[in-house]
């Protein structure tokens, strides 16, 4: 083969290699572009699903505003208990459906509709009460309606559970905010707060929550305590509530004190 022919062959080979490399680069570029077009929608869809799901859960979740009070749905011939599952433990309340049907019906309605799920205790007062049920986790606000709850026939005692109401509202007004008597000062409270029931078991949990009262003795808790869920149990009139392991019963209802309360009454 002549030198000229050899040089021509080498030139052609170089051209072929260059074309081959150019095609490979073009193929890689197209592949990367196609992959990018596929990957970006996947990422975007993932973000939309995540955000939409979170938003959907919020919208389709718990209703905390109603235009009217609930209809009567409880059976006053039966007994009802409420297990308040908090981040600090469980408090079991014996609801007084016989003597306070309107009051208990309102509490049962809100609990069964998960109104209280996720709410915080918004007030703790030393030797007095703990309070919860504000839809915005404050002492203000309610479910959008009020009912006239039955007043207690006996003085409040440690373990009493009753409705809080605003200072301008009439006695016995009930919305969604309630308090639990956790100290002796509760016994001097005027009997103007609609009764719900009494703590049967778990007063130690309620008093532990009271221990998060602020330094001045009354106000928002120094540590967040959340209601996980309230379970309502309905049983025949002859049923009794069995104490769970490790729970503590309430103090006798007859305890009294002559000292005036230094804490303001529960309010919304």
Q: Could you list the pLDDT tens digit for every one of the 268 residues in the chain?
A: 566 655 665 665 566 556 656 666 666 666 555 544 444 443 333 332 222 223 223 334 889 999 999 999 999 999 999 999 999 999 999 999 999 999 999 999 999 999 999 999 999 999 999 999 999 999 999 999 999 999 999 999 999 999 999 989 999 999 999 999 999 999 999 999 999 999 999 999 999 999 999 999 999 999 999 999 999 999 987 444 444 444 443 333 333 322 333 335 666 5
The highest-level CATH class for domain 79-235 is mainly beta
| pTM metric for this prediction | 0.70
Sorted by where each begins, the domain ranges of the chain are 1-61, 79-235
Q: Are 206 and 86 in contact (CB under 8 A)?
A: no
Q: Say how far apart CA 168 and CA 185 lie, in whole Å.
A: 23
**Phi-psi category of 209—alpha, beta or left, where left has phi over 0 and alpha has psi -120 to 50?**
alpha
- Which one, of 111, 110, 112, 131, lies nearest residue 122 by Cα? 131
Question: Tokens for 182?
Answer: 């956790």
Please give the angle made by the CA atoms of 20, 25 and 26, to the nearest 5 degrees.
Answer: 95
Query: Which residues, 6+ apart, have CB-to-CB distance to 255 below 8 Å?
Result: 157, 158, 184, 187
Q: Are 194 and 103 in contact (CB under 8 A)?
A: yes
What pLDDT score was predicted for residue 236? 87
Maximum alpha-carbon separation in the chain: 127
What pLDDT score was predicted for residue 28? 64
Sign of CA dihedral 63, 64, 66, 72: positive
Residue with tokens 């996720």: 118
Strands of the sheet containing 121-125, edge to edge, are 218-219, 121-125, 129-132, 178-181, 160-163, 195-201, 89-95, 79-86, 227-235
Distances (CA, A) of 60 to 21, 63, 64, 69, 178: 57, 8, 12, 21, 25
Q: Are strands 227-235 and 173-174 parallel, antiparallel or unpaired?
A: unpaired
First to last CA, the chain: 106
What pLDDT score was predicted for residue 61? 82
């Amino acid at each position: 083969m002549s030198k000229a022919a050899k040089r021509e062959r080498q030139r052609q080979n170089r051209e072929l290699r260059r074309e081959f490399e150019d095609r490979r680069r073009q193929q890689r570029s197209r592949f990367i572009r196609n992959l990018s077009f596929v990957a970006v929608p996947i990422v975007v869809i993932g973000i939309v699903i995540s955000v939409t799901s979170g938003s959907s859960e919020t919208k389709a979740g718990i209703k905390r505003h109603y235009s009217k009070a609930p209809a009567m749905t409880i059976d006053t011939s039966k007994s009802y208990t409420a297990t308040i599952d908090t981040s600090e433990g469980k408090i079991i309340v014996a609801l007084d459906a016989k003597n306070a049907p309107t009051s208990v019906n309102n509490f049962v309605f809100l609990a069964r509709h998960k109104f209280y799920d996720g709410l915080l205790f918004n007030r703790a007062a030393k030797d007095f009460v703990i309070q919860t049920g504000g839809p915005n986790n404050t002492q203000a606000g309610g479910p959008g309606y009020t009912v006239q709850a039955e007043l207690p026939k006996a003085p409040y005692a440690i373990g009493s559970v009753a409705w809080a109401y605003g200072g301008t509202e009439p006695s016995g007004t009930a919305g969604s905010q309630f308090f639990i008597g956790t100290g002796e000062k509760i016994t001097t409270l005027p009997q103007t707060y609609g009764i719900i029931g009494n703590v049967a078991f778990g007063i130690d949990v309620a008093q532990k929550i009271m221990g998060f009262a602020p330094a001045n003795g009354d106000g928002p808790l120094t540590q967040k305590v959340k209601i996980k869920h309230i379970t309502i149990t309905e049983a025949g009139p002859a049923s009794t509530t069995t104490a769970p392991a490790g729970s503590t019963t309430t103090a006798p209802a007859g305890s009294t004190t002559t000292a005036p309360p230094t804490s303001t009454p529960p309010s919304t």
